[in-house]
Amino acid sequence: MDSVMFAVGLGALLLATLSYFFVRRLTAPGVGHDDIERIENFSLDSYRPMGRLLDEQDLEFLRAQPGYVPGLDRKLRSQRCAIYRAYLRSLAKDFGALHRAARTIVANATEDQPELSTQLFHQGSRFWVGMAIIHCKLTLYSLNLYPSSISAEGLVNAIGNMQSQMFVPSAVTTAN
C-alpha cells in the first residue's frame, strides 16, 4: 500500500511539474534585449560543473573524515541540490532565449516553414519534459531516495544543438 501511495504521489508531482513548465513555455513573451544579450554570452562550458555537483564520492569522502557528524551529508546534499537548481534555472533561461529567437526567425521568415515550426515545437516539448523529469529526480535525490546519477547533459546538448543549427545572430537582430 505504501508503494502505491508513493507511486501516486510521484505521478502527481510529475504532472504538476510538467503543467508548470508547459504553462510557462506557452506564456513566454517574444525576443527582447535580455534574450539577445543572453544568447551572445551563452556558453556550454558554464554548465560543466553540473556533471560533478551531485557526485556521491564527495559525500563518501565527507563521511570518512574525522569529526564527521551525522547530518552533515544531508546539509551538503541540500546545498548541492540548491546549486543544481540554480544551474537548471539558468539552463531554462538560456533555452527559452534561444527558442524564442528561433521561433521569431521562423515567424518572420519570408517563406512558410511548417517543418521547422514542428521541429521547434518538438524540441521545446522534449526540453521541458526533460527538465520536469530532472526536477522530480532532484527532489527525490534531496530526500535521499534517488541515486546520484542525475544528468542534465541531454538538455545542455539540446541547447548547444539548437544554437549551432538554428540561431543566426543577424536574423534575431533584424527581427526586433
Query: What is the tens place of the pLDDT at every residue in 91-128?
Result: 998 888 888 878 877 777 788 878 888 888 888 899 99
pLDDT score of 149 more than 80: no
CA dist., res. 58 & res. 122, Å (int): 37
Digit-coded pLDDT (tens) for 10-35:
788 777 776 776 666 555 556 565 66
The pLDDT of 56-71, averaged and rounded, is: 86
The gap from C-alpha 123 to its chain's centroid, in whole angstroms, comes to 13
pLDDT of residue 24: 62
Q: What is the pTM of this model?
A: 0.72
pLDDT score of 159 more than 80: yes
How confident is the prediction for the chain on average, in pLDDT? 79
pLDDT of residue 3: 78
Q: What percent of the chain has pLDDT over 70?
A: 81
